[in-house]
Amino acid sequence: MTAPDLSIARLATDLKVALVFYTRLPLAHDGTIAGEDLARASWAAPVAGAVVGALAAVVYGVAHAWGLGPLPAAGLAVAATIALTGCLHEDGLADTVDAFGAGATPESRLAIMRDSRIGTFGACALIVSIGLRWAALASLTSPTRAAAALIAAHAAARAMPALLMWLTPPARPDGLSAAAGLPPSDSVAAAALLGLVALVFALGLGKGLIALVLLLVALGAVRQLALAKIGGQTGDVLGALEQVAEVLVLLVAARG
């Protein structure tokens, strides 16, 4: 077995790959990001998520300092996360719910996932996802609590796709998820550890553990549903899981 490359240059490249793929930040990257690059860099996805959460927290803080209340500040913060990620995971959620809700067979569901149009199921899923994130964030009322919740939610949620890829085979022989293949076990473990650290440090031990349990339940539920509906996971399913995880962490953060 080849030892993992833990050089500074390799880690820096992985982090850059994660930031380029998971965000719309203006970072230059030579060449095309291949599936194996993403699989190897999966450990850095929570770091990219923490960056997204931190930038959204800045937006919340500026809105609060400008005199806006928690509701518009939270709405602007959620909008910032959507803009920063280019709706990457929202697209996966909409496609997955459309496919699982309207498709009659695994083949038809996979075909729906590749259709760029959005259906009623997908539109409703987006409304629920954005609405719950907005409401949960608004209920925190404090820029400090909102910042902690945003960083925890975006970091921990981006650890989940690597776990699902590791536990579940691709549903189709082509596509980004299939090209990525099985992520290295050390990358998956590092992603999970970073997600856990974000939860505990941002939410505290009690809420962090509650969020962890809910995320594991969501992981198992999405895995079983994906296996039953399409025989495995796709990039869209990975995005849907990320969205579910974001919502769950923010709801835990909003819990009194």
Q: What contacts 150, CB < 8 A, 6 or more positions away?
A: 53, 54, 56, 57, 60, 77, 81, 137
Residues 194-246 have pLDDT tens digits of: 999 999 999 999 999 999 999 999 999 999 999 999 999 999 999 999 999 99
Given CA atoms 42, 51, 175, 247 in this order, what sign does their dihedral have? positive
What CA–CA distances, in Å, run from 135 to 46, 157, 234, 251? 23, 18, 29, 9
156-165 burial, b for 16+ CB within 10 Å, e for fewer?
Answer: bbbbbbbbbb
Cβ atoms of 156 and 199 closer than 8 Å? yes
Prediction pTM value: 0.92
Residue 152: closest CA among 201, 95, 85, 192? 201
Burial of 87 per CB tally in 10 Å (0-12, 13-18, 19+): middle
Residues 63-120 have pLDDT tens digits of: 999 999 999 999 999 999 999 999 999 999 999 999 999 989 999 999 999 998 999 9
